[in-house]
Structure 1
Amino acid sequence: MPDLAALFSAADPPPTPAYVYDLDELDRSHAALRAALPAGGELFYSLKANPHPAVVGALVGAGCRAEVCSPGELRAALEAGADPAGMLYTGPGKRDVDVAEAIEAGVGFFSVDSPYGLDQLDRIARRYATPVRALVRVNDDSPAPGQGLTMTGVASQFGADVRWVRKEPELFAARAYVRPVGFHLYMGSNIAAEDALYAQFAQSVATAVELAGATGVEPEVLDLGGGFGVPFARAGGRPDLTGLADRLTALLTDAFPGWPDRGPAVAFESGRYLVGTCGTLVTRVLDVKRSQDATVVILESGINHLGGMSGLRRLPPIVPDLVAVDGATGEPVPATMVTGPLCTPLDTWARAATLPPPRPGQLVAVPNVGAYGLYASLVAFLGHPAPVEVTIAGGRVTGMTRLALTRNVVTGTNRG
């Protein structure tokens, strides 16, 4: 983590709660992931992890292409300087108006999950007389082991089942304004072990080769997804992937002789690995009390600022590490319940944590929340202010913003 004690003891410190994004750490993460990938591979940044303009701008400036899946992410990528011609627009369901906005903006590369998705893209591209390229997203027959969140090998909104593509390849063929140029396989996410990452990529490459033979279409582009894991809201660093690049290079040259000079362009995607370790949530203790033989620590941040999906039990609950910003120590307090300020019992981060002695007014920090932190939370729930977002580089503040939660009047009858 950066030197938070110095940052928040300065003459004009940021207000809290604050998400602090360390752009120097972002650079280190990008360099580490690039080193773990084959030299001939492309790297997309998945904006769903964190669309903050400084974060996106830094990664685009470092050479990442943008992967977006909504009109909001498209606008964020464009505002950060991403080239629309190099973007990949994904998502299992797309509104006509959103596809049209993307084509108008210059996006010409889409991932589609069904024959209807190809028909929809063709219909809208025809309206603009603008040919586009597509990747057919494939749901493989079985998941690869070691995944944090399985996204293939099960009934899924993501992709067309591989047996469907194999059986009826004509449904996934070119349309007048859409040219399928390859396959998109994303097996799962939050995979920390190098062996597990390699296994999923090897399975995806084998599936792509098999589909190319079954359909008679040699892929020009192969998107192998990502899933590169890092700790979330817990202490720790990026996993060591130093052996992955050589293994992937050997895999790809074996599958596609002459690669990367011949064969498909191969792309990888990452969100959490690139930005996860660059973000820290700094928040303040509001109250400390005893209840039913437990110590209860109430923070100014809860599920509205971190782990909203976990708070609603849609994902396993998180139990964040809390680090005292001022370095305070003492005999750990067991059986500590950690909550936020929201008027609901669901606003709980932990029920039996062990923490250094907390006190009202104390600043504490949650590490490794640069990915799926603020932007995966319930910021509109119960109307508390959104945290500020602070970017730092070289230990100095380079920017400070706050999400605006405003209500706009919508007029007209077509509000799609």
Structure 2
Amino acid sequence: MSLTTAELAERYGTPLYVYDLDRVTAARDDLLATLPEGFDLYYALKANPHPEVVRAVREGAEEVCRPEVSSLGELDAALAAGHPAGNCLYTGPGKTDTEIDRAIGLGVREFSAESPSDLRHIGNVASRHGVVARCILRLNIASAGAATGIRMMGRPSQFGIDGDTLAETLPQLLSVPGTTVIGAHFFTMSNAGDEESLLGEYEHVIETAAGLGSDLGLPLELLDIGGGFAAPYAVPGNRTPYPKLRAGLADLLDLHLPQWRAGQPRIACESGRYLAAECGSLVSRVVNVKEGSGGPFVVLDGGINVLGGLSGIGRLLPAAVQLDPGLRPAGRGTLVGPLCTPGDSLGRNVQLPALAPGDLVTIPNVGAYGLTASLVHFLSRPAPAEVTLRGGEVVSATRLEPRRTPVGDGR
């Protein structure tokens, strides 16, 4: 018998993350059906590295779903979820020799190189291991100018090799010892709510990649065209549909890379938010209600320490309460957490029910960028429990436990 939210909260305490693994599988299947047949799909573990969530992305689609990791912790999570190390794509602009060494030692062979020096670091470590790392070059090119979503290309940043330098640098990049360049990696935008804009970005990327292959000799064994698929964050709603994307992408590839259906190149997309967002809810308990000017202020037992939304870089997004059965909207107020900082706000002037200490509230669509995008160590409060469900039944119940461990000689 499936447990209710109240029963889960009573059993595991609050604040509590609940991940419905059936929703992860459904999101994956929907996205694969949205993409042309033959695409690979990388799951970006930064969205949610919980091993059961990662496992739910993989199971039943092992041949096409692969992990994209950018830390040793994410690599460990991918391996714990059953992914072979050889299926992992290791990304990120600041890979250290230590982490590259361990990744290669575990069997990782594919890397996204963000700069010429990053490629050399990968090659140096690979050479010490006596192996060759297969690398795609992340390229930072001028974007097509989509109107929606968060821009990821076309401006100076730590991400990607500047496209206007590639003609000059490519011969050196193709000859870095310990590496072989097998393709290109683009990431144009994030959370694109407009399908036409997303298709426009993909057209720009595919046409650019084809031109770099024919004009400069850039190898194109693998082309990762990025993601951008949208899903709501901490507010009610559903993932954005893209009904024209499958046919539109196939037409673009037929035009610019006509051998793609035969696997030349292998085409991949990546996603984190779209695959994980809808699976997760945060259940929190009201600990205090302060009435007064500007009120009420509803204080929960979890704040930006459990739902930070990358608050440290100014991307805290407003949250909405999903009403529990029997609770009715009563007016507007401010939803805050228990931390000793005025920044611990989950929503200002949001619609709230009449709430009292002890009541439960549920914030939906936080399966992506939830716990691990939060200030989980701030004020040394305990991390929330994380419960995974399949068919309404509990699969796992765990808690991240921060602890100090000795380093070096321990002094």
TM-score for the superposition, normalised by structure 1: 0.94
The corresponding residue for 2:264 is: 263
Secondary structure of 1:260 counterpart: helix
Q: Aligned partners of 2:180, 2:233: CA distance in 1, in Å?
A: 39
Q: Give the alignment of 1:136-147 within 5 angstroms.
A: 136-142=137-143, 144-147=145-148
Q: Give the alignment of 1:61-72 within 5 angstroms.
A: 61-63=59-61, 64-72=65-73
Q: CA deviation at 1:7?
A: 3.6
Instruction: Write out per-residue CA displacement over residues 272-294 of structure 1, whole angstroms, 9 at most, x where no aligned residue.
Output: 10010000000001111213242
The corresponding residue for 2:385 is: 388
The corresponding residue for 1:185 is: 186
The corresponding residue for 1:275 is: 276
Q: Aligned partners of 1:326, 1:9: CA distance in 2, in Å?
A: 14
The 8 Å contact of residues 143 and 150 in structure 1, kept in 2 or not, is answered as no
Q: Give the alignment of 1:126-275 within 5 angstroms.
A: 126-142=127-143, 144-275=145-276
Q: CA deviation at 1:144?
A: 3.4
The 8 Å contact of residues 35 and 242 in structure 1, kept in 2 or not, is answered as no
The corresponding residue for 1:320 is: 319
Match for 2:28: what amino acid?
H
Q: Aligned partners of 1:142, 1:96: CA distance in 2, in Å?
A: 32
Structure 1: any 5+ residue segments left out of the alignment?
A: none
Match for 1:388: what amino acid?
A
Instruction: Identify the range of structure 1 (362-371 vs 117-126) with the bigger mean alpha-carbon deviation.
Output: 117-126
Match of 1:363 among 357, 360, 365: 360
Q: Aligned partners of 1:10, 1:247: CA distance in 2, in Å?
A: 44
Q: Aligned partners of 2:393, 2:5: CA distance in 1, in Å?
A: 8
Question: Percent same amino acid among aligned pairs?
Answer: 41
Instruction: Write out per-residue CA displacement over residues 359-404 of structure 1, whole angstroms, 9 at most, x where no aligned residue.
Output: 1110000000000000100010001111100111111212100111
Q: Aligned partners of 2:38, 2:137: CA distance in 1, in Å?
A: 22
The corresponding residue for 1:346 is: 343
Q: CA deviation at 1:147?
A: 4.2
Structure 2: any 5+ residue segments left out of the alignment?
A: none
Distance 1:270 1:82, change over 3 A: same
Distance 1:129 1:384, change over 3 A: same
Q: Aligned partners of 1:257, 1:350: CA distance in 2, in Å?
A: 49
The 8 Å contact of residues 260 and 267 in structure 2, kept in 1 or not, is answered as no
The corresponding residue for 2:96 is: 95
Secondary structure of 1:401 counterpart: strand
Distance 1:10 1:212, change over 3 A: closer
Secondary structure of 1:48 counterpart: coil
Aligned length: 407
Instruction: Identify the range of structure 1 (67-76 vs 9-18) with the bigger mean alpha-carbon deviation.
Output: 9-18
Instruction: Write out per-residue CA displacement over residues 116-144 of structure 1, whole angstroms, 9 at most, x where no aligned residue.
Output: 11211111111010111100110012353
Secondary structure of 1:199 counterpart: helix
TM-score for the superposition, normalised by structure 2: 0.95
Q: CA deviation at 1:239?
A: 1.1
The corresponding residue for 2:371 is: 374
Match of 2:44 among 34, 46, 59: 46
The 8 Å contact of residues 144 and 204 in structure 2, kept in 1 or not, is answered as no
Match for 1:192: what amino acid?
G
Q: CA deviation at 1:10?
A: 6.7
Secondary structure of 2:13 counterpart: coil
The corresponding residue for 1:15 is: 13
Match for 2:376: what amino acid?
V
Q: Aligned partners of 2:38, 2:169: CA distance in 1, in Å?
A: 32
Match for 1:391: what amino acid?
T
The 8 Å contact of residues 136 and 172 in structure 1, kept in 2 or not, is answered as no
Secondary structure of 2:296 counterpart: strand
Instruction: Identify the range of structure 1 (167-176 vs 198-207) with the bigger mean alpha-carbon deviation.
Output: 167-176
The 8 Å contact of residues 9 and 16 in structure 2, kept in 1 or not, is answered as no
Q: CA deviation at 1:67?
A: 0.4
The corresponding residue for 1:27 is: 25
The 8 Å contact of residues 186 and 224 in structure 1, kept in 2 or not, is answered as yes
Q: Aligned partners of 1:165, 1:125: CA distance in 2, in Å?
A: 23
